[in-house]
Structure 1
Amino acid sequence: MANRKLEERVIEIYQTHYSDVYRFLICFTGNSNDAEDLTQEVFIRVLNHLSKHTSGSLKTWIFSIAKHTAIDHYRRKRFTSIFKESFFKQIPSNELDPNAEIEMDEFKKGIHQAISKLKPDFRAVVILRGINEFTIKETADILHWSESKVKVDYHRALKILRKKLNIDTEEVIRNAN
């Protein structure tokens, strides 16, 4: 009976958080195959350590695991660039005009390149706050930072992106989604 309840709980957690974790990991790795593998690794870690999770938000705990999994992957592979073309190719375009589509693709590539050149801490906070739209508190919990560090690093990262892209920061986040 207890195993059945645990199994149901794990399935519920997986179904509830899978797409958010996958989206975070695809943003971090830029590769759908790596993101899929890492997502599975995250949920294996969640399953193996679920009994140890006693306090705090389950969602932030899972994203903390995802962040550490992504960083471990990053360190293992020693990427020169975290983001790959595949992330922005997966974003469907609502434009029908081929010229507008080409312009948007170029714009997304520019965002992709600018984000990929951010240091890992800035990249993580931009993905969590700007793309995944986590609150400051959730982002702080996931990254194990203070809320003020999240605010400062997010502000600094957006300032760098704005400077690199020479555009309005809100436009960067809106078009990255």
Structure 2
Amino acid sequence: MSIVLSGCLFFLFSLSRNHHTAEDLVQETFLRAHLGLENFQGKQIKSWLLTIAHHAFVDHYRKHKRIVVKEERFFYRQVDQMIMPEDQVMMQLAVEDVFALMADLPEKYKVAVLLRDFHQLSYEEAAQIMNVKKAHFKVLLFRGRQAIRKREVPDDE
């Protein structure tokens, strides 16, 4: 599986939290990309595809309004087989922790954190995908990270 395809699948699964939905949305993304190939301006294909994927997710989300988590173990299959079992367990725990912290974030905050911190896109690329200005994207990212940090702090303090 190509890096772009797996990145697109990871991004859509991160948003939908359902691997069947993510696979359907990846298919929809590549169909839309094929149909809109003449609009591609030749800059960054990953950013262009993630933009299309985000729009496909938004369309799907508007139609279904409620997203149900069915299989969280999807990411465990994505872990490279060359990693030692101890490291795999640590990565699984880290993924669980991150998704638990992000579970109830507002959608815009979650998308901003995923695009910048997980997919390592530039501020410009991520803002373009979300169809917001760069400054607004930075605000969304800051607020998303801040909400995650607040959830990390134990209630005792």
In the superposition, the TM-score normalised over structure 2's length comes to 0.79
The within-5 A match list for 1:29-108 is 29-54=16-41, 57-80=44-67, 85-90=72-77, 92=79, 94-96=84-86, 101=89, 105=92, 107-108=94-95
Q: What's the CA shift for 1:34?
A: 1.5
Please report how far the alpha carbon of residue 54 of structure 1 lies from its aligned counterpart in structure 2 after TM superposition.
4.2
2:103 aligned residue: 116
Equivalent pairs counted in the alignment come to 151
**Other-structure match for 1:160:** 147
Is 1:132–2:119 an aligned residue pair? yes
What TM-score, normalized to structure 1? 0.71
Separation (CA, whole Å) in 2 of partners of 1:82 and 1:161 = 20
Partner residue in 2 for 1:8: none
Instruction: Report the Cα distance in structure 1 between the residues aligned to 2:60 and 2:76, rounded to whole angstroms.
Output: 22
Root-mean-square deviation over aligned CA pairs:
2.9
Q: Structure 1 residues 84, 165: closer, same or farther in 2, change over 3 A? A: farther
The list of structure 1 runs, each at least 4 consecutive aligned residues, that deviate by more than 6 angstroms after superposition, is none
What percent identity do the matched residue pairs reach?
Answer: 26
Q: Structure 1: where are the runs of 5+ without partners? A: 1-13, 168-177
Task: For structure 2, list consecutive stretches of 5 or more residues without a partner in the other structure.
Answer: none
| Paired position in structure 2 for 1:20 | 7
Structure with the largest fraction of helix: 1
Larger Cα-atom Rg: 1
